Amino acid sequence: MTTPQIHPSILSADFARLGEELQKIPTADAVHVDVMDNHFVPNLTIGLPVVQAIRRATNLGIDIHLMIEDPDRWAPTYAEAGAESVTFHAEASAAPIRLAQQLRATGARASMALKPATPIEPYLDMLGELDMLLLMTVEPGFSGQAFLEMVLPKIRRARQAISAAELPVALQVDGGINAETIERAAAAGADTFVAGSAVYGAEDASEAIDQLRTLAARGHRCPQTPTRSTAS
């Protein structure tokens, strides 16, 4: 498991001032860009031209999260636009293994996402085709939703499978990650954390990133952390 990676999501940034918003997160490990098409999820965000503009505006790695139908057709174009990593949803892909191989062939990292109710087990045999697995901890579509505790056992099962196979697959979580939840997600085995409102809703985005990283590292040191907070 790598040291905790913090990927702020620009979905919670001010889209009218994207350049400045990117400058607020110099210590991020990458910037997470949510692409939604109003079909796979009930929200419409940004597409390729904006991703190309982001590529020009920052030196940070770009972590694309495609919440779109037919990623088999569109995902490679995001890799060609200079994204370091492209995540497609398993629920939307007709041929996830072929798509992962195509993404890797462009030089990008191939990543696959699962919605909270999608089980990991049918996909365990294809972990070797992936550089990252994203387990959604909210139903995809919007920032600011509450972390779904029910995903924690799936995070543990995924971590177990990745460790058992000795694969260098990053395990990302996305949705409701904040100072209250990140430690539990880390203790369950996640190593890459998307945070939208927890970073862009904070007074000081850099400070929020540092705090999240520290809490995640604490979770990694205490893998026995209870799955539910006892705080009321």
Binding site for ligand DX5 (CB under 6 A): 9, 11-12, 32, 34, 65, 138, 140-145, 174-177, 194-198
Q: How far is the CB of 70 from Zn ion (least distance, A)?
A: 18
β-bridge mates for residue 85, sequence order = 63, 109
Which option in Zn ion, ligand DX5, none does residue 176 bind, with CB closer than 5 to 8 A by kind? ligand DX5
Distance CA 61, CA 27 (A): 11
Residue keyed to tokens 């991020």: 28
Is there binding between residue 29 and Zn ion (CB under 5 A)?
no
Residue nearest to ligand DX5 (CB): 196
* Residue 196 marked in a binding site: yes
Distance CA 142, CA 186 (A): 22
Which option in Zn ion, ligand DX5, none does residue 92 bind, with CB closer than 5 to 8 A by kind? none
Residue (195 or 225) nearer to Zn ion, CB? 195
Q: How far is the CB of 185 from ligand DX5 (least distance, A)?
A: 11
Residue (34 or 191) nearer to Zn ion, CB? 34
Across the beta sheet with 5-8, the strand order is: 5-8, 192-195, 170-174, 132-136, 109-114, 85-89, 62-67, 31-36
Active site residue 174: yes
Whole-number Cα distances in Å, 15 to 18, 85, 172, 176, 200? 5, 21, 24, 20, 12
- The tokens for 42 are 């009930």
* Residue 147 marked in a binding site: no
Q: What share of the chain is helix, strand, coil (3-state, %, to 5)?
A: 40, 20, 40
Element (H, E) at 53: helix 48-57
The residue from 29, 131, 174, 191 that is catalytic is 174
Residue (35 or 103) nearer to ligand DX5, CB? 35
Residue (40 or 123) nearer to ligand DX5, CB? 40
* Residue 143 marked in a binding site: yes
Whole-number Cα distances in Å, 49 to 54, 151, 173, 195? 9, 33, 26, 23
Contact string (CB under 5 A) for Zn ion, positions 39-78, x = contact: --------------------------x-------------
Active site residue 34: yes
The residue from 34, 37, 63, 191 that is catalytic is 34
Residue keyed to tokens 């505790």: 149
Distance CA 134, CA 132 (A): 7
Residue numbers annotated as active site = 34, 174
Q: What residues are designated binding site?
A: 9, 32, 34, 65, 141-144, 174-176, 196-197
Annotated binding-site residues for substrate read: 9, 65, 141-144, 174-176, 196-197
